[in-house]
Structure 1
Amino acid sequence: MSHSSDINAREIKQRLNHNEALNLLDVRENIEYHTHNIGGLNIPVNKLKENLNNLPWQYNDEIIVICSAGLRSETAKSILEENGYQNVRNLTGGLLAIEKLQSI
């Protein structure tokens, strides 16, 4: 399994700090998303397959998938890739990794 296309917390934080418009897909549960998020579209991973037609992105757009620790987003990345999305990146370490950066 290739992780070369994944994105780390430091890179995503730099891009957000530069106000770059990122295609973020947050695959946590709604309650988690509403408690804390960095923006993006919220579709829980277990509802992703039924919502594939509702995604606003093109198949070659960069899509960054995020969750708490990077496990659910890894699953979501696989689902998207199986359905034709070619530039999907998983946030390794998830939102927890971003929070760790902010506490340094």
Structure 2
Amino acid sequence: MEENFDITAAQLKELLEGNEPIQLLDVRNPDEFEADNLGGTLIPLGDLPFELDQLESWKGKDIYIHCRSGARSARAKEMLLAEGFEKVHNVLGGILAYREL
């Protein structure tokens, strides 16, 4: 299987309910995060190029990225891959899909 596969909201829910901590990156804006979040690390998409050093310890680990609907997280995934991160996964449908579960 490809290392950079996307996952569904249901798959993310399984991971979050598991016993293992995961690297969850939220690329929404602070107001969106404040209103509703899944406990991930908040780095808004526009800030991501300047905050990559915060994620250096995540290199080589599975990173799950989410936003509101999946569009910003897809862009963030491409950005991280271009910066040498591996095993980067976009959560399809974002938090909107997650909250419908």
Q: Provide Cα deviations, 1:4-56, integer angstroms capped at 9, x if missing partner.
A: 60111111111212243110000000110011000111000000000011225
Show the 5 A alignment for 1:52-91: 52-91=52-91
For 1:20 and 1:83, how far apart are their aligned partners in 2? 26
Show the 5 A alignment for 1:25-40: 25-40=25-40
For 1:38 and 1:17, how far apart are their aligned partners in 2? 11
Shift in Å, 1:57? 2.8
For 1:66 and 1:24, how far apart are their aligned partners in 2? 8
For 2:14 and 2:58, how far apart are their aligned partners in 1? 24
For 1:15 and 1:87, how far apart are their aligned partners in 2? 15
For 2:19 and 2:13, how far apart are their aligned partners in 1? 10
Identity %: 37
Q: How many pairs are equivalent?
A: 99
Q: Give the TM-score normalised by structure 1.
A: 0.88
Corresponding residue number in structure 2 for 1:9: 9
Partner SS, residue 60 of structure 1: coil
